Amino acid sequence: MTWSRAELERVAQEVRGTVLWDEPMSRHTSLRVGGPADLYLEPADLADLERTMVLIRSAGVPCLVAGGGYNLLVRDGGIRGCVVSLKRLDAVEPLPGARLEVGAGVTNQALTRYAAQNCLGGIEFLSAIPGSFGGALTMNAGAHGGETMQRVELLTTLRESGVLVRKRSELEYGYRFLKLEPGEIVLGARLRLEPAERRLIEENIQEYITKRGGQRVGFPNAGSFFKNPPGGSAWRLIDEAGLRGWMIGGAQVSEVHTNFLVNRGGATATDFLTLAELIKRRVKEHSGVELEEEVRVVGEA
């Protein structure tokens, strides 16, 4: 279906939240790269999001739904159509029985801090994973033996037919995977956690952060760039291939954690994509393993 700027303008006029035209995605991604989106929207709340998505679908405008931009690499040509951000779905609501209702726009770090302050354990591993909770749900993010879906009691999503709430037993998920319908948007989830001493929770958080190295790389990054292959670690394979510290343009294999690719300043999306291809080729030559990106690559060259 064809669409025009006029359709975008009609959508923009109805949004109550933030509306930005020709907005550089480098301002909205943790890697700090990416060309402009024709239209960038941050709906004010769930009702605004529902209305916005109805307008977008009826206009036939292509749409990318994004969270905090932490697991996203936008190509230098940017994104045609619109980007819809879930940043404002950032509520955390305590419920009886060591449960939390968490919106997709809450950052993983904010969630783990809230849980620690309220003496709720079991989700500490998310503290070492950059990104939003919606992104963690969508890819079933995990670390150190923990996975996001293990703690989900109910998942809330938005389809064309409306809001849908499902039990975990009704979902299909696995390693870095959650099955969703095309166009289905993760709005948040109800988590079942465990009462625990705040001191122990905070010790676990610090241990995970130290092991992960995420807060010590010192430059913009997207967290783990590649998925771990079965029975192995991507960082180890990259390190053994002799790529620690390797640079292309402003993109570098982190000297602290080799599965983190960092922006040393002035990097482009093309720098990161070229570096990623080099890494995959060298790892394949050295160990025979084919690495697969964990980050989501979108947009036009």
First to last CA, the chain: 22
> What is the 3-state composition of the chain as percent helix, strand, coil, each rounded to the nearest 5?
30, 30, 40
- How far is it, in rounded angstroms, from Cα 282 to Cα 220? 24
- How far is it, in rounded angstroms, from Cα 30 to Cα 54? 29
Tell me if residue 264 is catalytic: no
Q: What is the β-pairing status of strands 221-224 and 260-263? A: antiparallel
Q: Which residue among the candidates 176, 192, 198, 264 is catalytic per the annotation?
A: 176
DSSP at 227: P
CB 296 within 8 A of CB 102: no
Tell me if residue 294 is catalytic: yes
Tell me if residue 176 is catalytic: yes
Q: Which residue among the candidates 7, 23, 147, 294 is catalytic per the annotation?
A: 294
DSSP H helical ranges for the chain: 5-14, 46-59, 108-117, 133-138, 198-212, 234-240, 269-287
Q: Which residue among the candidates 26, 224, 254, 282 is catalytic per the annotation?
A: 224
Token pair, residue 67, equals: 């969270």
- What is the SS3 assignment for 151? helix
Token pair, residue 99, equals: 């449960």
Q: Which residue numbers are catalytic?
A: 176, 224, 294
